[in-house]
């Protein structure tokens, strides 16, 4: 259950990343790193929890 929720969070992070790319191309790399880090971090916390 936790693993599935983690995967969903990563997927949602990808969707946010896609919308951020459309709105703003400048600073895209830092936005991508931030979103991926948050999604992966939350996923790991939920899996371990």
DSSP state at residue 26: T
Contacting residues for 7 by C-beta, under 8 A, at least 6 apart: 43
pLDDT value at residue 21: 59
Domain boundaries of the chain, sorted by first residue: 2-48
pLDDT tens sequence across 16-48:
766 655 555 555 556 667 777 778 878 787 777
Tokens of 2: 């936790």
| Unique residue bearing structure tokens 């951020």 | 20
Report pTM: 0.39
- The H or E element spanning position 23 is helix 2-23
Give phi and psi for 47, each to the nearest 5: -65, -45
């Amino acid at each position: 259950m936790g693993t599935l929720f983690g995967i969903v969070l990563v997927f949602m992070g990808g969707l946010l990343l896609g919308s951020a790319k459309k709105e703003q191309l400048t600073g895209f790399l830092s936005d991508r790193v931030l979103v991926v880090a948050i999604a992966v971090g939350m996923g790991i916390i939920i899996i371990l929890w």
